[in-house]
Amino acid sequence: MKAIRYSEYGTPEVLEYLELDDPVPAPGEALIAVRCASVIPGDWKVRAGNLRDMFPLSLPTIPGRDGAGIVVDVGEDCDWTKIGEEICFVTEHVEPGSYAELVARPRGMTIPKPPNIDFAEAAAMMHAGVCAWIGLVETAQVSAGQNVLVHAGAGAIGGMAIQIARETGCHVTTTCSASNADYVRSLGAHRVIEYDRGNFEELVSGQDVVFDLIGGDTHERSCRVLRRGGTLVWLIAREFEDVSDKYGVACRQAVIHDRRKTLERLAERVAAGILKPQVSGRLPLDRAAEAHGRLERGDNSRGRIILEIGDGS
Ligand SMILES: NC(=O)c1ccc[n+]([C@@H]2O[C@H](COP(=O)([O-])OP(=O)(O)OC[C@H]3O[C@@H](n4cnc5c(N)ncnc54)[C@H](OP(=O)(O)O)[C@@H]3O)[C@@H](O)[C@H]2O)c1
């Protein structure tokens, strides 16, 4: 199979486009012909070696945290799918990933592809949707009537988070650049704070929940806009000093997992047309390095960059 692989940590140039042996599905696994794979910020951070303590890789490795494709073979005792089924999957950073023509996955790391979206949107749904769901639903436990501030609403996770909070019945404020204000409104944000035109902490107050996808000084600034007793939920981004006690707010990490129940709840809402995964651009598999470069420079918004394998359809 054709795949992207790297043998050492480094710049995007360490990503090689190679011919590798096809994976063989283990008992209970399906072999998936990948049509689309997402490129996520974690992919470049792992490749650069920035997260090597958290994700100890055995190199060489194939990157890619999620994707979507078609089952082309099954291992022994694999009775949960059949050849031809359209499927979405996740792979852990420490496993052979999705930047490849083929990947083998057990049932627990897959869900059927919602029929109303294409493979690119299906890939974009997976990790981005899971992170937004775990952050707002499982960690913050948002409920109708709450005021929720979602940072980085024009990003892949933020875009899903806006939709989840809106569907729950929250009043949703989000931060993004002025150029993306109309875009985040189209996803359901009630109020938009353009971070390049003003400081959100001077414009917002009394929030029940802040979803912080940025870190650094955004952490303290977010504590200031929460009501006392409010909740700040964070994902690993820029390092920050936890000052939540000083402001009388709770600070909770959204710890990302890939439990199938969570994948299913997400996919149900996508299948019902309630949530729409966002795709910012499409590139062929052999241009993975270009996609990494764009993410690393902060040159991506409005959803996931998708690597298409074959024609991606
Ligand atoms: N396990 C974990 O903890 C975990 C899991 C997944 C992701 N993450 C982290 O979560 C972060 C977000 O991931 P993602 O996939 O959503 O990234 P993404 O799609 O690349 O999002 C980038 C977005 O960030 C926005 N942004 C940049 N600076 C901003 C600021 N000062 N205020 C508001 N928005 C700003 C940009 O908005 P504009 O385009 O409008 O400038 C851009 O749309 C990343 O740092 C990622 O590594 C952590």
Q: Model confidence over 114-166: pLDDT tens digits?
A: 999 999 999 999 999 999 999 999 999 999 999 999 999 999 999 999 999 99
Residues with CB under 6 A from ligand 1: 40-42, 128, 131, 151-152, 154-158, 175-177, 180, 195, 213-214, 235-237, 256, 295, 300-301
Q: Measured in angstroms, how far is the CA atom of residue 100 from the centroid of ligand 1?
A: 25
Q: Look at residue 313 in the predicted model and tell me its pLDDT.
A: 83
Domains of the chain: 2-117+277-308 (3.90.180.10), 127-253 (3.40.50.720)
3-state class (DSSP) for residue 14: helix
Cross-strand bridge partners of residue 105: 30
Ligand 1 centre from 265 Cα, in Å? 23
Q: How far is CA 182 from CA 187, 201, 280, in A?
A: 9, 21, 15
* Res 128: pLDDT: 98
Count other C-beta atoms under 10 Å from residue 295's C-beta: 19
Phi, psi of 310 (to 5 degrees): 70, -135
pLDDT at 311 > cutoff 90: no
pLDDT tens-digit series, residues 63-101: 999 999 999 999 999 999 999 999 999 999 999 999 999
**Which of 93, 197, 213, 257 for mutating ligand 1's site (highest number of atoms within 8 Å of CB)?**
213
For atom 45 of ligand 1, the residue with the nearest CA is 237
What are residue 245's phi and psi, to 5 degrees?
-60, -40
Question: Which residues are CB-neighbours of 201 under 8 A, at least 6 positions away?
Answer: 221, 222, 224, 225
What's the gap in Å between 154 CA and the centre of ligand 1?
A: 8
Judge if pTM exceeds 0.75: yes
For residue 307, list its beta bridge partners.
Answer: 37, 283
Where do the H-state alpha helices sit in the chain? 41-47, 119-133, 156-168, 181-187, 200-203, 218-225, 244-247, 260-271, 288-296
Q: How far apart are CA 87 and CA 33, in angstroms?
A: 10
- Nearest-CA residue for ligand 1 atom 21 is 155
